[in-house]
Each structure stands twice: as C-alpha cells, then as structure tokens.
Structure 1
Amino acid sequence: MRVNLMVGGSVELIPKQEVQDRQHENWIGVDHGATWLIQHGIVPQSAVGDFDSTDAAEFTTVRQEITNIKKLPTAKDMTDTQAGVLTAIKQFQPDQIDIFGATGGRLDQLLANLYLPLQDQFKDYLPKIRFIDRQNIVSYYFPGTYTLRRQPKFKYLAFVNLTPVEDLNLVDEKYPLHHWSSLIPFSWSSNEFAGDENHFSFRKGIVAVILSGDWPLH
C-alpha cells in the first residue's frame, strides 16, 4: 500500500497532475498541505501539524472536511513532516510513503525533510520513503546492489552519500565510478542514464539517489 503526504511547502514545485492521478489513494495532509489538498478536490484521511501557516477560515474548512485531525503545539520536538510520516506509519503500515510539498522555500526546512529518513524512528522505513516534486525524485538506499529505471522528463541522476560510504560503484551509468569510499557526505551529480536501466552498488553507508530534470517540467 502506498500513502501520500502533502506538506505545506512551495506550491509551485508540486506536480499537480501526478497528485490528481493519485486522488483516490490514501493521503495525509500536513499543516497547510491539508488545505491545499481540499482546495484541489482531495480529502485526506488524516491531517496533522501545528497549522501555524493555516488561517482561521482555512482551518475551519479542514475541521469540516477531515474527521481525523491531530493538532500539535507550535513549540515541539519534531517537525510537522516528521509527525506526518509517523502518522502514515501508525495508521497504514505502508509499503511506500511518497512526500509532496516538502521542497523549496526555507533551506533549514528542506534539509530537515531530506535528512528525516536517517533518524532512528524512521530508519526501518528509509527505503520506502521518497520525496517528489516537479523537478526531482529522491529515494534512499541501504547497502546492496540495485537497478534503476529511467523515468520520462528526469534526465539527470545523482548519487549522494549521506553518511560515510564504502565501495560505491556506478556500474553502467554515463559516468561510471568504481570502488569509491568517503568519510564525508558527497554528491556525484549530473550523471545520466546510459540505457533504460542502470545499476549501482555499495557496501556500507546510506545513499540517496536523485532523479532530476530541467525546469520547467509538468
């Protein structure tokens, strides 16, 4: 089962057509993301957040449309996105968690979102979490050997070690890499697919793979 989260980030980066194509799937609205979903004809199963970016009229609509709402204090030890992912795990035990509206805007919030899967409470779900916007798809990997499939409109391919990594191999990408290790985070960016499928492997660490396309997309 796949669960989708809509976070209250930069609306211009939300792939609206893809969201509409998923309108009958399970959704969780996070903070102003709940309002965005309602405005676009999607009523999420749950809403969570401190709703500090939602005005009184919008929150009245949220309460009218959504029965399962968890309102959090503004001062808390987690972000709204973290609370949304925890809600998804507890409510659905999903096979995939796709997060929209979590990129762009403030850099500190972007980094908090992108590093979220590394935290202990989410680490079991790390390979099941993706961040998606109009220009990027971010996926996370534990050590192993993997196949990547080319996707339309996403020309570029990046491999980013978020922790120390050992023996990273980009086997058949346009720009191969062999037996690379590093103690610091590093982004091998602007690589490309050399075919419909490409492969990579690594022996230790956590790697994010980012599919990217040039702006504007869809």
Structure 2
Amino acid sequence: MPPRRVLIFTGGNIKKDSIHEIQEDDFIIGADKGALFLVDNGIQPDIAAGDFDSVTEDELERIRKSSRKLFTCDPVDKNLTDTELAFEMALDQRPEEVVMIGAIGSRLDHSLANIQMMLRGLQHKVVSSILDEHNYISLTGSSLKVKDRGFTYVSLLPLTPEVTGITLNGFMYPLQDATIQMGQSLGISNRLTGHEGTIQIESGLLLVIQSKD
C-alpha cells in the first residue's frame, strides 16, 4: 500500500525540532546531508540518496548502516540535484503528499529549483510543500485550503506571468476574482482570520507562502 505522505530531508536549513514533523506512517527520504541529519537524530531513513559530496567517508558509512536503502550517484556525472533525485523517488512511492524539509538554504539557485519542483507534484496530482522554521510553501493551480500552522502571514506570488480569478475567503484582506501579475506585491502579508482560509484561482500557478519572522 502506498504511503500517504513522504518526507524529504535535504541539505538546506534544518532545525533539530523539525524531526517532530515526522508521523508514524511517513515514508522518509534523506537527501545527501539530510540523511546525515536524520541518522544523527536517531531516525532511520527508508531511503538515503545523493552524491554525498557534503559528508565525510565515515559519515557516509554511518548513513549506509542506518538506512534501509542507500542510493549513491556520481557528484559530477549527473543531471539531477540530490533533492530532485529524492523527489523523483518520493513520486515513485505514489503518495498523496510530499513535504520537503531543508529545501530552502543559502544557495538561492537550489532554493528556487526546489520551489519550482512542486510543479512536478501538481502534474502527478500529489500535494507538495516546503517546510522550514520560518516558512510553509505550497503551490496551487486551482484551489487550496490554508490551515493555521502557527505562521503569521500568508503571501501569494504568481509562478506564471499572471494568475487570474483569485478569490480569498477567511482572510483579513479578501479578494474576489482578482488578477495578480508577476512582479506585483498585491498578495504579500495577508493574514488568516480564523483556523482556515480558502484560495481559488481560475488560471495560472500561485505560490502560497505562510511565513513568520
């Protein structure tokens, strides 16, 4: 039976308390240094994957011994980042949801690539998100329920040149059939008025970023 949810721990900013996100039935993938984070915190990855150029030989051996499966690739002769490799493996599990933890870090190119990767989830009808200490990022091409996860703000940013037919319910600043074009800041720093809000759009792709300082 496919897992309902896959968690990917990758090599960006990961706080130790992010292990509390793990639920009993989650399928867990550690990508490169994310696998080391899991092992160091007593969590056994179902799969550890990557080129492991961010860990020492001793650390890689610990990962090997502590993971159910290990997949390694050449750090030069490859076409995927470690996170994308892990994301492909996550989709192979046919889950309902994939959550990437540690997918935002100091490398803006990797962070943007990981954000865009959520489109692959949409194409496979898999709910995809990115979680870190300050942000919970999701993507929609139709409708989305936004739950109060303890973040202060909810911001909307187009991932296509424009997003049309945006309707918000349950937000401090509601919208009705609005259009936001790429480069506009109309959707920044909204707030939920209760425990849940809804977003509906007619066309385009919309990033939904719950954040706090």
Normalised by the size of structure 1, how large is the TM-score? Answer: 0.86
1:103, 1:133 within 8 Å by CA — same for their partners in 2?
yes
Corresponding position: 1:198 with 2:197: yes
The change in CA–CA distance for 1:63 and 1:210 in structure 2 (over 3 A counts) is same
Q: Return closer, same or farther for 1:161/1:134 CA change in 2, 3 Å cut-off.
A: same
User: Alignment partner of 1:195: what SS?
Assistant: coil
Q: Map 1:58-69 onto structure 2 (within 5 A).
A: 58-69=59-70
Q: Deviations over 1:57-99 (max 9, x none)?
A: 1011111222411111223211111100111121x21111111
Structure 1 outlier segments of 4+, above 6 Å: none
CA distance in 1, matches of 2:122, 2:197: 25
Between the aligned partners of 1:169 and 1:113, the Cα distance in structure 2 is: 27
Q: CA deviation at 1:184?
A: 2.8
Q: Please, what is the CA RMSD of the aligned residues?
A: 2.0
Bigger Cα displacement from structure 2, 60-69 vs 42-51: 60-69
Counterpart-to-counterpart distance in 2, 1:126 and 1:50: 28
- Give the structure 1 partner of residue 156 of structure 2: 159
Name stretches of at least 5 consecutive residues in structure 1 with no aligned partner.
none
Tell me how far apart the structure 2 counterparts of residues 83 and 69 of structure 1 sit (CA, whole Å). 13
Matches within 5 A, 1:199-214: 199-214=198-213
Indicate the residue corresponding to 2:43 in structure 1: 42
Separation (CA, whole Å) in 1 of partners of 2:153 and 2:81: 30
Measured after TM superposition, the shift of residue 195 of structure 1 is 2.2
What is the distance in 2 between the residues matched to 1:112 and 1:84?
13
Could you say what secondary structure the match of 1:35 adopts? Answer: helix
Alignment match, 1:109: 110
Of 86, 99, 113, the match for 1:84: 86
Matches of 2:5 and 2:32, distance apart in 1:
20
Q: What displacement does 1:28 show? A: 0.5
Q: Secondary structure at the match of 1:78?
A: coil
Closer/same/farther in 2, CA of residues 197 and 21 from structure 1, 3 Å limit = closer
Gapped regions of structure 2 (runs ≥ 5)? none
CA contact (8 A) 2:45 2:68 kept: no
Instruction: Find 2:179's aligned residue among 163, 176, 181.
Output: 181
Does the CA-based 8 Å contact 1:126-1:141 persist in structure 2? no
- CA offsets per residue over residues 98-127 of structure 1, 9 Å max, x none? 1111112111111111111224xx442465
- 1:31 maps to amino acid: D
Judge which range, 33-42 or 159-168, deviates more. Answer: 159-168
Q: TM-score, normalised by structure 2?
A: 0.88
Q: Which moved more, 1:80-89 or 1:177-186?
A: 177-186
User: Which 10-residue stretch deviates more, 105-114 or 168-177?
Assistant: 168-177
Task: Count the aligned residue pairs.
Answer: 206
Partner of 2:131: 132
Q: Which position in structure 2 is the counterpart of 1:147?
A: 145
Give 1:151 deviation, angstroms. 2.4
Deviates more, 1:183-192 or 1:158-167: 183-192
| Cα shift at 1:27 | 0.7
Would you say the 8 A contact 2:168–2:198 is kept in 1? yes
User: 1:28 corresponds to which residue?
Assistant: 29
**What do the CA deviations read for 1:41-67 (whole angstroms, capped 9, x no partner)?**
001010111111111110111112224
